[in-house]
């Protein structure tokens, strides 16, 4: 997929999801074609290993097909809903496998990291992100670098406070405080963006 | 512990639940509260909307083709693997043949006797849904070379979809007979494609607007099926 590619239109994704809920295999295929690269990239980011990420993606789409009727559009954008399913499947795959996944502190791909670090140098608009993800990226870029890393580490690797503390070689109290403050800041920042 | 009324704590727990740092007993306890606390469910849904888009921060990587093939196989989605499906439908109809022929024949007598200036109806078929409810009535008028498809009631079809009628021969690819309206009736041209002696099944599938993109057969699910009764 080229960098200039547009993020999939949420309205279109919603239509396909609704059709998939009615067991429309053609619509489901189109949904897969449009979202699988993003979701596979995400699974790879969590699992690092190609074959584990393939398994998570497969499990994820089987669950998306089986649960499409339960999708509630007022609760989540389609991409977010699907990404959450894939994320949970990725953690399941991880728990089942004997492999330990290496965790790198540099959480996101450099492209996204650069945009979060310095939105002036790499505009967040240039990333293939949905509206929700763009807003979150802007607000995360306003956090201090280490705070951002702690939040991302927890989310991408399903870590507890103490596991994050271990990874980052920080006292657990510091990690707890940073996470709590970061989440509060994100909430305030997102509310402001929504209001403006 | 009672967390009702403690908004700061409720926000903190919900956010850490979504982030994933709430673990073990604390996580299970939180899930227990979610059950009978609608407001807590709302707070949690809001945190999902805030944090879960973080998933999109990973760069896209195209998955290998085999992933889709495995999904297709596990969910039995493949239209050609769908041959199994068509065959199932065939044996279903062979089993039901007697009963449905009688019903269809009765229908045709009603139709034929009500219309004085009757076209020469040589074949009829009633297509039924999965609950064996009649959804469509087909009449083949060999005098006028017309095939009339009448919807019994109406079955809503999504705006970006069409219903397509197929004649499935005993061997070879299904033959498209044309697109249908989701209510009222449609007149199609009658030919051997529709009433040839090799036709083993009639079926209606849900297809993208304009009909199946695959010239060799349907791509969508079968909604209605049935077979001709020759008069």
B48 CB-near residues (< 8 Å, 6+ apart): A75, A76, A80, A84, B18
Interchain contact, B56 vs A79, CB within 8 Å: yes
- Among the four given CATH numbers 2.60.40, 1.20.1250, 2.20.70, 1.10.8, the one describing domain B79-230: 2.60.40
Identify the CA nearest to B139 among candidates B188, B203, B197, B205. Answer: B188
pLDDT of residue A120: 78
pLDDT of residue B1: 61
pLDDT of residue B23: 94
pLDDT of residue B180: 86
Interchain contact, A45 vs B58, CB within 8 Å: yes
Interchain contact, A26 vs B21, CB within 8 Å: no
> Is residue B41 within 8 angstroms of chain A, CB to CB?
no
Sign of CA dihedral B212, B216, B221, B222: positive
> Is residue A57 within 8 angstroms of chain B, CB to CB?
yes
Q: Which residue has the higher pLDDT, A176 or A196?
A: A176
Burial of B152 per CB tally in 10 Å (0-12, 13-18, 19+): middle
The b-or-e profile of A172-187 (16+ CB within 10 A means b, else e) is eeebbebbbebbebbb
B 166-205 → A contacts, CB under 8 A = none
Which one of B46, B57, B157 makes the best mutation probe of the A interface by having the most chain A beta carbons within 10 Å?
Answer: B57
User: Could you read off the pLDDT of B86-104 as tens digits, one per residue?
Assistant: 555 565 555 555 566 666 6
β-sheet bridge partners, residue B138: B125, B149
How many Cβ atoms from other residues are within 10 Å of residue A45's Cβ? 22
Confidence band, pLDDT 50/70/90 cuts, at residue A32: very high
Of B15, B60, B219, nearest to A38 by CB-CB distance is B60
Interchain contact, B220 vs A26, CB within 8 Å: yes
β-sheet bridge partners, residue B224: B204
How many Cβ atoms from other residues are within 10 Å of residue B67's Cβ? 21
Of B19, B49, B79, nearest to A154 by CB-CB distance is B19
User: Could you read off the pLDDT of A118-170 as tens digits, one per residue?
Assistant: 777 777 777 778 888 888 988 998 899 889 989 998 998 889 999 999 988 99
pLDDT of residue B131: 77
Beta strands, E only, B37-184: 121-128, 134-141, 146-151, 161-169, 175-180
> Is residue A68 within 8 angstroms of chain B, CB to CB?
no
Please state the domain extents for chain A.
10-96, 110-195
pTM for this model (two decimals): 0.62
Local structure of B134: helix, strand or coil: strand
DSSP single-letter state for residue A99: P
* Residues in chain A, overall count: 196
Which one of B47, B52, B159, B161 makes the best mutation probe of the A interface by having the most chain A beta carbons within 10 Å?
Answer: B52
Q: Which residue has the higher pLDDT, A87 or B106?
A: A87
State whether CATH 3.30.70.100 applies to domain A10-96.
no
A 162-191 → B contacts, CB under 8 A = 164, 179-180, 183-184, 186-187, 190
CATH class of A110-195: mainly alpha
Could you tell me the CA-to-CA distances from A108 to A45, A116, B64, B71 in Å, in that order? Answer: 8, 10, 22, 28
With a cut of 70, which residues of chain B have pLDDT below it?
Answer: 1-2, 79-119, 154
The b-or-e profile of B168-202 (16+ CB within 10 A means b, else e) is bbeeeebbbbbbbeeeeebebebeebbbeeebbbb
pLDDT of residue B225: 87
Local structure of B137: helix, strand or coil: strand
Please state the domain extents for chain B.
7-57, 79-230
Placement of tokens 């090799």 in the chain: B198
Min Cα separation B64/chain A (Å): 8
Global ipTM: 0.88
Q: Find out whether A43 and B225 touch, Cβ atoms under 8 Å.
A: no
């Amino acid at each position: 997929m080229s960098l200039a590619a547009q993020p999939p239109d949420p309205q279109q994704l919603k239509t396909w999801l609704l059709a998939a809920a009615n067991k429309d295999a053609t619509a489901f295929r189109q949904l897969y074609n449009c979202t699988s690269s993003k979701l596979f990239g995400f699974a790879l980011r969590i699992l690092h290993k190609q074959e584990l990420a393939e398994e998570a993606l497969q499990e994820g789409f089987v669950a998306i097909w089986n649960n499409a009727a339960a999708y509630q559009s007022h609760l989540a954008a389609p991409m977010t809903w699907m990404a959450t399913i894939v994320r949970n499947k990725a953690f399941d795959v991880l728990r089942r496998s004997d492999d330990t996944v290496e965790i790198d502190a540099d959480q996101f791909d450099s492209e996204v990291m650069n945009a979060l670090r310095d939105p002036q140098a790499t505009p967040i608009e240039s990333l293939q992100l949905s509206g929700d993800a763009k807003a979150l990226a802007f607000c995360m870029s306003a956090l201090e670098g280490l705070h951002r890393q702690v939040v991302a580490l927890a989310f991408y690797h399903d870590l507890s406070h103490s596991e994050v503390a271990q990874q980052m070689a920080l006292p657990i109290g510091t990690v707890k405080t940073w996470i709590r403050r970061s989440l509060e800041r994100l909430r305030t920042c997102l509310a402001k963006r929504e209001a403006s | 512990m009672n967390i009702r009324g403690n908004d700061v704590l409720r926000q903190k727990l919900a956010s850490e639940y979504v982030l994933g740092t709430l673990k073990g007993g604390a996580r299970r306890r939180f899930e227990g509260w979610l059950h009978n606390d609608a407001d807590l469910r709302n707070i949690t849904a809001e945190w999902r909307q805030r944090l879960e888009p973080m998933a999109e921060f990973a760069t896209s990587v195209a998955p290998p083709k085999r992933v889709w093939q495995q999904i297709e196989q596990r969910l039995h989605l493949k239209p050609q693997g769908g041959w199994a499906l068509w065959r199932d439908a065939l044996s279903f109809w062979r089993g039901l043949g007697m009963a449905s022929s009688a019903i269809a024949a009765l229908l045709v007598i009603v139709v034929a006797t009500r219309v004085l200036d009757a076209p020469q109806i040589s074949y009829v078929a009633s297509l039924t849904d999965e609950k064996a409810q009649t959804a469509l009535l087909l009449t083949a008028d060999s005098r006028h070379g017309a095939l009339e498809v009448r919807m019994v009631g109406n079955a809503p079809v999504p705006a970006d979809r069409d219903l397509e009628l197929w004649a499935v021969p005993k061997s070879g690819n299904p033959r498209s007979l044309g697109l249908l309206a989701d209510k009222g009736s449609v007149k199609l041209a009658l030919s051997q494609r529709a009433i040839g002696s090799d036709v083993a099944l009639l079926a209606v599938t849900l297809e993208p607007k304009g009909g199946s993109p695959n010239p060799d057969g349907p791509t969508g699910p079968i909604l209605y099926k049935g077979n001709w009764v020759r008069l």
